[in-house]
Amino acid sequence: MRIFEKLGEYNYEQVVFCHDGSTGLRAIIAIHNTTLGPALGGCRMYPYASEDAAVTDALRLARGMTYKAAASGLNLGGGKSVIIGDPQKDKSEALFRSFGRYIETLGGRYITAEDVGTSPEDMANIQVETSFVVGVDKTYGGSGDPSPFTALGVFQGMRACAEERFGTDSLAGRTVAVQGLGHVGYHLCRLLSEAGARLVVADVREESVERVVREFGAEAVEPGEILSVGCDVFAPCALGGVLDDRTVPQLRCEVVAGSANNVLLEPRHGEMLAKRGILYAPDYVINAGGVINVADELEGYNEQRATKRVMRIFESIKAVIEVAKRDGVPTHVAADTLAIERVEEIGNMVRLHTGHPYGQLKRQRETL
């Protein structure tokens, strides 16, 4: 991999390679942009097939966090870290404490949190070595499981889409097809049931399906059928890349709004949705509730305040829709525009402020 070409392609600020032979630590920290504040992004642990694959994943996820934070109104930048290893076999207290020491050396430029393959317990081990970590268990002063907040944000974004498409933000009587019934999918079903929606659900785990059917009266279909269910809203809450050349034509919905990351296999699939008249809630905007919740820990966690901030995802999705109308573009393009405009606006302000290091650098260059 030509790493500096990769960094230059999307203007990454920094990549840190972390190695500790005694603990087996092999980790990568990617910092994309810190214009709005320190980079926040979870720590993923996964048995990558190659080091290049790990670097590519870290870079992709870090850039996504910049857009997510910016579009959500957070005063944070985008970063991500990955640990190469099997989370079922390779975890240890020493490994995560070693990783925490590397985070500490960055002096607050990067703040980590749990992600795929890591847990609040792992974050607690990191916290022994650094204060630049969020998403720890409530017993350690953190916010605990972020899933209910991610689900709440998706629910609010779904309401915003319903208002745009159906003329009312009420989901009562609407049919919502939920793909994936993990922690977030389950809590989303709970909220939708309470709102009076009709649920059609699917998951590869039979016990998850049975629970939602039992508790919320959902109708179950096979995993391969959920994409073609006739519904008002399709909610992808499982793996990413679910919408592609094959699946987009199968959709029989008015709105796509769910918690999964990277729902579109490629950006052009967002254009396909728009051409079909399907309103898409961009994933990194609608699923930001968990990030917004853990970010509140940086101020001393207050659940009521965090909940209010997550509820604002309603306004965030409305703003994306308005930009899409303004510019005549699909919503996934509008979300990127909204994020980029905020980063550029704050970046220009920062650079003009002579008391800020950017301003000092500007003066130094002008005197050369």
* Chain centre to alpha carbon of residue 207: 26
**Whether residues 113 and 164 fall in one domain:** no
Closest residue by Cα to residue 154 from 120, 197, 118? 197
Which helix or strand (DSSP H or E) is residue 17 part of? Answer: strand 14-20
Q: Is 364 helix (H, G, I), strand (E, B) or coil?
A: helix
The answer to whether the CB of 201 falls within 8 A of the CB of 259 is no
**Whether residues 229 and 257 fall in one domain:** yes
Q: Is 265 helix (H, G, I), strand (E, B) or coil?
A: coil
**Whether residues 34 and 132 fall in one domain:** yes
| Contacting residues for 175 by C-beta, under 8 A, at least 6 apart | 197, 198, 199, 200, 229, 230, 231, 232, 233
pTM of the entire predicted model: 0.86
Q: Single out the catalytic residue among 6, 68, 80, 275.
A: 80
Q: How far is CA 366 from CA 156, 166, 360, 363, in A?
A: 48, 55, 10, 5
**Whether residues 15 and 98 fall in one domain:** yes
Name residue, tokens 């959500």.
72
**Whether residues 117 and 151 fall in one domain:** no
| Six token digits for residue 252 | 């029989």
**Whether residues 236 and 308 fall in one domain:** yes
Closest residue by Cα to residue 26 from 47, 57, 56? 47
Q: Is 218 helix (H, G, I), strand (E, B) or coil?
A: coil
**Whether residues 99 and 168 fall in one domain:** no
**Whether residues 120 and 159 fall in one domain:** no
**Whether residues 212 and 133 fall in one domain:** no
The answer to whether the CB of 198 falls within 8 A of the CB of 162 is no
**Whether residues 166 and 222 fall in one domain:** yes
Binding residues: 180-185
80 is catalytic: yes
**Which residue range(s) make up the domain with 124?**
3-63+78-137
| Six token digits for residue 53 | 């694959």
| Six token digits for residue 316 | 């965030």
Residue 23's domain is classified under what CATH number? 3.40.50.10860
Q: Is 167 helix (H, G, I), strand (E, B) or coil?
A: coil
Please tell me the total count of domains within the chain. Answer: 2
| Six token digits for residue 160 | 């915003």
**Whether residues 279 and 181 fall in one domain:** yes
Binding residues for NAD(+): 180-185
Residue pLDDT tens, the chain, 368 long: 788 988 998 899 999 999 999 999 999 999 999 999 999 999 999 999 999 999 999 998 999 899 999 999 999 999 999 999 999 999 999 999 999 999 999 999 999 998 888 988 999 999 999 999 998 888 888 888 889 999 999 999 999 999 999 999 999 999 999 999 998 999 999 999 999 999 999 999 999 999 999 999 999 999 999 999 999 999 999 988 899 999 999 999 999 999 998 899 999 999 999 999 999 999 999 999 999 999 999 999 999 999 999 999 999 999 999 999 999 999 999 999 999 999 988 888 766 554 544 433 333 333 33
Residue 112, class by beta-carbon neighbours within 10 Å (0-12 exposed, 13-18 middle, 19+ buried)?
A: buried
Distance between CA atoms of 187 and 149, rounded to whole angstroms? Answer: 9
**Whether residues 114 and 198 fall in one domain:** no
| Contacting residues for 159 by C-beta, under 8 A, at least 6 apart | 169, 170, 171, 314
